Amino acid sequence: MISIHDLRARFESDPVPLQWGAIASDLARLSAIVQSGDIHSLFFQNVLNEAKLFTEWLAPEVDFEGQATILSLQRWLSKWPASGGSEESSRQVEKEAEEWSERILNLSGLLSQ
């Protein structure tokens, strides 16, 4: 397992568009995990924690609009542990994670390169 220090060094060594892409990737993974029904797994928690760390580390590197997006995403990510309950709420979380992933990927500019 990689240390948080090494994870941060690796994340911060990438250009900002790739950092946004890493967050989008984590969000897509979270959506897939919820779809598989494994929302209470250690893997889910690890990906969730990584996404939270990535948003924290990226925030100082982006403009005001990017920071506003990160803040909204962080608020949404903070609700995850409470979201697991019913099948209906899991489907909603899955859908929202997918939407966030697409939004962040579009924001990254990686699709237009």
* Residue 92 within any structural domain of the chain: yes
pTM: 0.89
* Residue 61 within any structural domain of the chain: yes
* Residue 67 within any structural domain of the chain: yes
Q: What is the pLDDT of residues 71-80, one digit of tens each?
A: 999 999 998 7
| Number of domains composing the chain | 1
Three-class SS of the chain: CCCHHHHHHHHHHCCHHHHHHHHHHHHHHHHHHHHHCCCCCHHHHHHHHHHHHHHHHHHHHCCHHHHHHHHHHHHHHHCHHHCCCCHHHHHHHHHHHHHHHHHHHHHHCHHHC
Nearest-5° Cα angle at 80, 87 to 20 = 120
* Residue 24 within any structural domain of the chain: no
* Residue 60 within any structural domain of the chain: yes
* Residue 23 within any structural domain of the chain: no
Q: What is the pLDDT of residues 6-54, one digit of tens each?
A: 999 999 999 999 999 999 999 999 999 988 887 778 888 899 999 999 9
What pLDDT is stored for residue 94 in this prediction? 87
Please give the residue range of the domain that contains residue 75: 40-113
